[in-house]
């Protein structure tokens, strides 16, 4: 049983810039998307990225926070604000730009941040006064000063890869900002948590290495523990649950080892993205379990060694998949397994092979996506001439992007739907989940059943 601590014991990070008494006001917006993906319906996770932005901004500005995904309304009239700041991924970029254009038309300073503006600086610049590349923490002081001096620059970006601030200087995000909304009951019970940033593995379809390069940063383990204790204090009980938002918590195995060891006995439940190769050692899952792990999120991507080679995912060795799953399941930890279809090496048989693998290994929460070249990645450039989908709303990994070399469109879509319907049919849910106590992973399967049985090819075009 862990000890609950009071907020006074969590050190705030000193803010070197002192704001004038007459504070400017920000409106910080998490825009919705049009995706049919489950992740944007029902409960959604608190937007850690924007909460980090709001937490910093609160040091020097007045700030209001709106999350459209939970039903908060974005005001039509921005006259109460000096700055309107929005976050964007590719799948909501169109909505972001529409809101940004409206704010600019009303004479507001508009700031865009997040993955899409970072990867598409020139496009984003057409809709705002400034783009923040990567993360706010590394450029915040300069941005805050410039806003008060009315000298905002078109782009804020650390001058080199070494310019990213150490994660230990980061404040812990203030969740009360999100909880103030009357719609906050739509936030998932899984709290977002961050221990590391970056992942230099270098998969050619992924944005992370393009943003943070070879950089991989870790918080001090004590800081992570402090934040966990603080969340326990806020909740008034030790058994809180959270999701690590890290790209890859195990990129430095020694750090993950130290963190998991330190978490043993805290009484928390958690899930995290983790590299397959780290799980080749059975003791990793055993330690994760002791530390409270309920689910590990693993990018299997494909069960074909040829495809794994094609996407440069050096951390995956298909020949060891079965053994890795066994290591995790032996500890009673569930697996959220990501599977991507549509690479040129895929054939109609790839769906059957994936189905067989999932059923044989009883993967609890398989997620199926369509290979999506995200703008700004080298893979997007490589595929540009073949891409048939140019509407950013459809860049949610659930829309048909290009014709794979060995399959025609209709055959591909038919199989993509069929494999999901079969995996999430009632008898197969039962086969994959039998013996597991009734918990939220069961609930996810029920939701996935309802979602997958409704799928039609037209929804994916």
**If DSSP codes are grouped into helix, strand and coil, which group holds residue 315?**
coil
CA distances from 335 to 79, 197, 276, 425, 432 (A): 48, 22, 11, 18, 11
Residue 135 binding result from ligand B12, ligand SF4, none, given CB thresholds of 5 to 8 Å by partner type: ligand B12
Least spacing, CB of residue 308 vs ligand B12, in Å: 16
| 87 contributes a contact to ligand B12 by CB under 6 A | yes
| 245 contributes a contact to ligand B12 by CB under 6 A | yes
Least spacing, CB of residue 8 vs ligand B12, in Å: 25
Stretch that binds ligand B12, among 1-9, 60-68, 82-90, 121-129 (CB under 6 A): 82-90
For ligand SF4, the binding residues (CB under 6 A) are 199, 201-203, 206, 208-209, 247-248, 299, 315
Least spacing, CB of residue 328 vs ligand SF4, in Å: 17
| 380 contributes a contact to ligand B12 by CB under 6 A | no
Residue 185 and residue 187: Cα distance in Å, rounded?
5
| 452 contributes a contact to ligand B12 by CB under 6 A | no
Nearest to 64 by CA among 22, 110, 28: 28
Stretch that binds ligand B12, among 134-142, 253-261, 409-417, 431-439 (CB under 6 A): 134-142
> Quick check: 48 and 173 in contact, CB under 8 A?
yes
Least spacing, CB of residue 332 vs ligand SF4, in Å: 25
Residue 114 binding result from ligand B12, ligand SF4, none, given CB thresholds of 5 to 8 Å by partner type: ligand B12
155-156 and 62-67 strand pairing? unpaired
The per-type count for the chain, helices as H runs and strands as E runs, is 17, 14
Among positions 100-129, residues that touch ligand B12 (CB under 6 A) are 111, 113-116, 119
DSSP 110-173: EEEESHHHHH-HHHHHTT-SEEE-S-STTTHHHHHHHHHTT---SEE--SSGGGSPPGGGPPPP
Residue 65 and residue 80: Cα distance in Å, rounded?
13
Residue nearest to ligand B12 (CB): 113
Nearer to ligand B12, 32 or 229 (CB): 32
Residue 86 and residue 178: Cα distance in Å, rounded?
15
Among positions 312-371, residues that touch ligand B12 (CB under 6 A) are 369
Residue 87 binding result from ligand SF4, ligand B12, none, given CB thresholds of 5 to 8 Å by partner type: ligand B12
Strands across the sheet with 191-193, in order?
191-193, 241-244, 269-273, 293-301, 334-341, 365-370
Residues binding ligand B12: number (CB under 6 A): 38
| 401 contributes a contact to ligand B12 by CB under 6 A | no
Residue 246 and residue 48: Cα distance in Å, rounded?
11
> Quick check: 28 and 3 in contact, CB under 8 A?
no
**If DSSP codes are grouped into helix, strand and coil, which group holds residue 277?**
helix
| 83 contributes a contact to ligand B12 by CB under 6 A | no
> Quick check: 207 and 377 in contact, CB under 8 A?
yes
Backbone angles phi and psi of 349, in degrees to 5: -70, -20
| 85 contributes a contact to ligand B12 by CB under 6 A | yes
Least spacing, CB of residue 6 vs ligand B12, in Å: 25
> Quick check: 39 and 46 in contact, CB under 8 A?
no
Nearer to ligand B12, 45 or 181 (CB): 45
Nearer to ligand SF4, 309 or 421 (CB): 309
| 204 contributes a contact to ligand B12 by CB under 6 A | no
Nearer to ligand SF4, 31 or 342 (CB): 342
Nearer to ligand SF4, 269 or 375 (CB): 375
Q: Which residue has the tokens 């890869």?
A: 161
| 49 contributes a contact to ligand B12 by CB under 6 A | yes
> Quick check: 288 and 260 in contact, CB under 8 A?
yes
Per CB under 6 A, the list member of 55, 59, 67, 90 interacting with ligand B12 is 90
Nearer to ligand SF4, 136 or 211 (CB): 211
Please report, as ranges, the residues that interact with ligand B12 according to CB under 6 A: 33, 35, 37, 39-40, 45, 47-50, 52-53, 85-87, 89-91, 111, 113-116, 119, 132, 135-137, 194, 206-208, 245, 247, 369, 374, 396-397
């Amino acid at each position: 049983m862990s000890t609950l601590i009071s907020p006074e014991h969590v050190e705030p990070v000193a803010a070197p810039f002192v704001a004038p008494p007459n504070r400017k006001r920000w409106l910080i917006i998490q825009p919705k998307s049009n995706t049919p993906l489950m992740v944007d319906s029902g409960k959604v996770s608190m937007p850690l990225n924007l909460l980090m932005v709001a937490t910093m901004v609160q040091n020097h500005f007045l700030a209001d926070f709106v999350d459209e995904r939970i039903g908060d309304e974005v005001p039509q009239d921005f006259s109460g604000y000096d700055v309107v700041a929005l976050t964007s991924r590719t799948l909501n970029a169109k909505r972001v730009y529409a809101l940004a254009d409206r704010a600019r038309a009303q004479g507001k300073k508009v700031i865009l941040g997040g993955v899409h503006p970072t990867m598409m600086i020139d496009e984003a610049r057409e809709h705002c006064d400034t783009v923040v590349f990567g993360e706010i923490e590394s450029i915040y002081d300069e941005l805050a000063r410039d806003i008060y001096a009315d000298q905002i620059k078109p782009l804020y970006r650390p001058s080199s890869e070494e310019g990213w601030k150490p994660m230990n200087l980061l404040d812990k995000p203030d969740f009360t900002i999100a909880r103030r909304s009357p719609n906050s009951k739509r936030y998932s019970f899984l709290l977002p948590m961050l221990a590391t940033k970056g992942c230099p593995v270098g998969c050619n379809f992924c944005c992370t290495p393009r943003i943070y390069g070879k950089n991989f940063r870790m918080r001090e383990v004590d800081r992570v523990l402090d934040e966990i204790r603080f969340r326990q204090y806020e909740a008034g009980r030790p058994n809180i649950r959270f999701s690590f938002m890290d790209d890859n918590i195990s990129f430095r195995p020694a750090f993950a080892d130290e963190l998991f060891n330190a978490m043993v006995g805290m009484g928390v439940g958690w899930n995290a993205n983790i590299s397959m190769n780290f799980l080749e050692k059975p003791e990793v899952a055993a330690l994760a379990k002791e530390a409270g792990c309920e689910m590990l999120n693993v990018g299997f991507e494909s069960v074909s060694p040829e495809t794994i080679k094609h996407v440069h995912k050096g951390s995956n060795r298909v020949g060891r998949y079965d053994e890795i799953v066994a290591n995790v399941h032996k500890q009673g930890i569930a697996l959220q397994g990501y599977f991507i279809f549509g690479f040129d090496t895929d054939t109609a048989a790839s769906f059957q092979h994936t189905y067989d693998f999932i059923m044989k290994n009883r993967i609890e929460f398989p997620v199926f996506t369509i290979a999506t070249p995200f703008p700004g990645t080298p893979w997007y450039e490589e595929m540009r001439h073949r891409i048939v989908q140019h509407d950013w709303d459809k860049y949610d990994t659930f829309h048909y992007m290009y014709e794979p070399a060995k399959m025609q469109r209709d055959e591909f879509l038919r199989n993509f739907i069929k494999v999901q319907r079969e995996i999430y049919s009632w008898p197969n849910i039962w086969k994959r989940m039998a013996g597991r106590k009734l918990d939220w992973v069961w609930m996810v399967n029920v939701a996935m059943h309802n979602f997958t049985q409704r799928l039609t090819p037209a929804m994916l075009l």
